[in-house]
Amino acid sequence: MIDYLIVGSGIAGICFAETALQNGKSFLVVDDFSSSSSRIAGGLYNPVILKRFSQVWQAKEQLEYGLPFYAVIEARINAKFNFKIPIFRKFASIEEQNNWFHAADKPNLAPFLSSKIIHREYQSINSEFGFGEVLQTGYVDTAVLINSYVRFLQENDCFINETFDYSAIEFKENSVQYKEVEARHIVFAEGFGLHQNPFFNQLPLDGTKGELLIIKAPDLNLDVVLKSNIFILPIGNDLFKVGATYNWDDKTDSPTEDGKQELIGNLKEIIECEFEIIEHFAGVRPTVKDRRPLVGTHLAHRNLHVLNGLGTRGVMLGPALAKALFENIENGIPLDNQIDTKRFDKKGK
Looking at residue 6, which CATH number applies to its domain?
A: 3.50.50.60
Which residues on neighbouring strands pair with residue 42, listed in sequence order?
A: none
Same domain, 156 and 225: no
Which residues on neighbouring strands pair with residue 285, listed in sequence order?
A: 208
Q: How many domains does the chain have?
A: 3
- Domain presence at residue 20: yes
- Domain presence at residue 70: no
- Domain presence at residue 52: no
- Domain presence at residue 40: yes
- Domain presence at residue 257: yes
- Domain presence at residue 268: yes
Residue 148: strand, helix, or coil: helix
- Domain presence at residue 71: no
User: Which pTM does this prediction carry?
Assistant: 0.94
Same domain, 195 and 297: yes
Give which of 46, 349, 10, 37 is closest to 204, Cα–Cα.
Answer: 349
Same domain, 168 and 316: yes
Same domain, 31 and 157: yes
- Domain presence at residue 53: no
Same domain, 166 and 275: no
Q: How far is CA 317 from CA 18, 106, 156, 288, 301, in A?
A: 14, 23, 26, 14, 25
Q: Tell me, what amino acid is at 88?
A: F
Among 247, 262, 287, the domain-final residue is 287
Same domain, 226 and 189: no
186 phi, psi to nearest 5 deg: -115, 130
Same domain, 186 and 294: yes
Number of helical H runs and strand E runs in the chain? 7, 21
Residue length of the chain? 349
Same domain, 127 and 17: no
Strands 131-134 and 231-236: unpaired
Q: Any idea what the CATH number is for the domain that residue 274 is in?
A: 3.30.9.10
Per-residue model confidence (pLDDT) at position 123: 85
Same domain, 324 and 341: yes
Give which of 132, 112, 149, 125 is closest to 9, Cα–Cα.
Answer: 149
Per-residue model confidence (pLDDT) at position 221: 87
pLDDT tens digits for the chain (349 residues)? 999 999 999 999 999 999 999 999 999 999 998 766 667 778 999 999 888 888 898 999 999 999 999 999 999 999 999 999 999 999 999 999 999 999 999 999 999 999 999 999 898 998 899 999 999 999 999 999 999 999 999 999 999 999 999 999 999 999 999 999 999 999 999 999 999 999 999 999 988 999 999 999 999 989 999 999 899 999 999 999 999 999 999 999 899 999 999 999 999 999 999 999 999 999 999 999 888 999 999 999 999 999 999 988 899 999 999 999 999 999 999 999 999 999 998 554 4
For the chain, the farthest-separated pair of C-alpha atoms sits apart, in whole angstroms, at 67
Same domain, 325 and 212: no
Domain containing 334 equals: 2-46+142-204+290-345
Among 77, 108, 136, the domain-final residue is 136
Cis? peptide before 217, omega within 30° of 0: no
Nearest-angstrom CA–CA distance, 39 and 33: 10
Same domain, 282 and 210: yes
Same domain, 164 and 235: no
